[in-house]
Chains A and B, each alone.
Chain A
């Protein structure tokens, strides 16, 4: 997989979550994603950016336009140095929440994309990587 373009965005405030949504939308448009695909990717980005802000106590997202064997896609890598997730399997379950949310963030975003990877270490932080292909 080749990374054709990359942009690192901070996620330290609610308004930066809005900026992330807008940048992701712009990349989806560049990649000529259909409206439904754009909406899914932006919604997933919104959920994960909020997780990074609230649970991860802030972090970054790397917005990457990627290519793999002629396929084009958008990859987002969310990283924080927050408290981490002790039980990832439990965190991926619908309805599981430690905050005030509905507990759909992680599991829900997983359903909205093609590839989903999560690594987390208690005390060290969390890294979530999602990709949606055109």
Chain B
């Protein structure tokens, strides 16, 4: 069965979507990612969509779902590399990608994930001290 590879990069997971996904492939990715977050204890997920020529409501919903599921599993999600034409179309379609954090480039995406992991890391240490 066709699958989108999930790469591990330290405490983050990296997914690069380069194919025109049919709906089931998007669902499989959602399941694979949540399993991988739980297995590896990843603190962040970066989804690179620079290769995607369109984002329709189905893919948009998948990204929202992944972000929510990851958050429940204590990981932050960032979507990077959206093409300008895709952003324009999404807004007209009426999809605001609520709850999905985006970054323009991979560098900024990594920075966001690191900062987010650090912040939550501090929160955890403080929590332990309080006990």
Partners in one complex: yes
Residues on A close to B: CB < 8 A? 14-15, 17-18, 21-22, 25, 35-36, 38-40, 42-43, 46-47, 50, 94, 101-102, 104-105, 107-109, 111-112
Instruction: Answer yes or no: B7 CB below 8 A from chain A CBs.
Output: no
Question: Residue of A at shortest CB range from B20?
Answer: A18
B60 within 8 A of A: yes
Interface residue B54 (Cβ < 8 Å from any Cβ of A): yes
Interface string of B53-80 (1 = CB under 8 A from A): 1111110110000000000000000000
B contact set with A: CB distance below 8 Å:
20-24, 53-58, 60-61, 83-86, 88-89, 92-95
What is the bound-complex CA distance between A35 and B84, given in angstroms? 9
Q: Judging by beta carbons under 8 Å apart, are B61 and A39 in contact? A: no
Q: How far is the CA of A22 from the CA of B53 in the complex (A)?
A: 10
Contact present for B93 and A108 (CB under 8 Å): yes
Pairwise interchain contact A104-B57, C-beta atoms closer than 8 A: yes
Tell me if A43 and B88 are in contact (CB < 8 A): no
Chain B residues whose CB sits within 8 angstroms of the CB of A35 once the complex forms: 85
From B20, B58, B85, B93, A50 is in contact (CB under 8 Å) with B58
A39-B94 Cα distance, complex, nearest whole Å: 15
Majority secondary structure of chain A interface residues (helix, strand, loop or mixed):
helix
Q: Apart from A39-B53, A40-B89, A108-B57, list 7 A-B contacts with CB within 8 A.
A: A18-B22, A21-B54, A38-B85, A39-B89, A43-B89, A102-B57, A104-B95
Residues of A contacting B86 with CB < 8 Å? 39
Interface pair A101/B85, CB less than 8 Å apart: no
Q: Which residues of B contact A36 (CB under 8 A)?
A: 84-85, 88-89
Task: Kindly list chain A residues whose C-beta atoms are within 8 Å of the C-beta of B21.
Answer: 18
CB distance from B23 to the nearest CB of A (A): 5
A29 and B129 CA atoms in complex are apart in Å by: 61
Known A21-B20, A39-B53, A46-B54; contact A104-B88, beta-carbon cutoff 8 A:
no
A15 to B21, CA, bound (A): 9
Q: Which 10 residue pairs across A and B have the least CB separation, nearest first?
A: A14-B22, A39-B85, A108-B93, A46-B56, A104-B57, A36-B85, A39-B89, A35-B85, A43-B54, A102-B57
Given A39-B54, A46-B54, A102-B60, verify A108-B95 contact (CB < 8 Å): yes
Assuming the A-B contacts A18-B20, A102-B61, A104-B94, are A47 and B56 also in contact, with contact meaning beta carbons closer than 8 angstroms in the complex? yes
Complex CA distance for A25 and B53, rounded to whole angstroms: 10
Q: Which residues of A contact B85 (CB under 8 A)?
A: 35-36, 38-39
